[in-house]
Amino acid sequence: MVQMRKNNETTIRSSRSTAPKKDKKGRILDKFKNAKKADGTPMSRQQKHMLRKRAKSMCWICTEPALADCTLCLTHLVANRERARKKIGCKSRHLRSTSYTLENLRRQLRGIRGSQFSK
Ligand SMILES: [Zn+2]
């Protein structure tokens, strides 16, 4: 029994090892290591961090899983929408768009009834 447990633990540990490979200085060795911007200058480590999150299909602002065919989570998608609306000065809302649909679905799942925008 003990040997089986040890074997199971080792298999779990080996499957869990998704940590990126690093060089001696601790820099991550992946396809973004020598990434360059469009003008040929090297990317900053923050930009590489964002690209790595996108490649893992995580929201590039926080670390929640991103929506399908999107680089943001629902929280940040809604925040971006509202920021853009405020900047442009929109008065109408496209209530059948993806962000509104998913936002309403999330409210229903949480048990919150009504929308703060339905006046
Ligand atoms: Zn997010």
CA–centroid distance, residue 74 to ligand 1 (Å)? 7
| pLDDT 10s digits, 32-62 | 999 999 999 999 999 999 999 999 999 999 9
> Residue 8 in 3-state DSSP?
helix
Residue 7 has pLDDT above 80, yes or no: no
Instruction: Judge whether residue 90 has pLDDT over 50.
Output: yes
Eight-state DSSP code of residue 35: -
Residue 59 is encoded by which pair of tokens?
């929201």
pTM above 0.95, yes or no: no
What is the Å distance from ligand 1's center to 82 Cα?
14
- Confidence band of 11 (pLDDT split at 50, 70, 90): very low
Residues 6 or more apart whose CB falls under 8 angstroms from that of 30 comprise 20, 21, 52
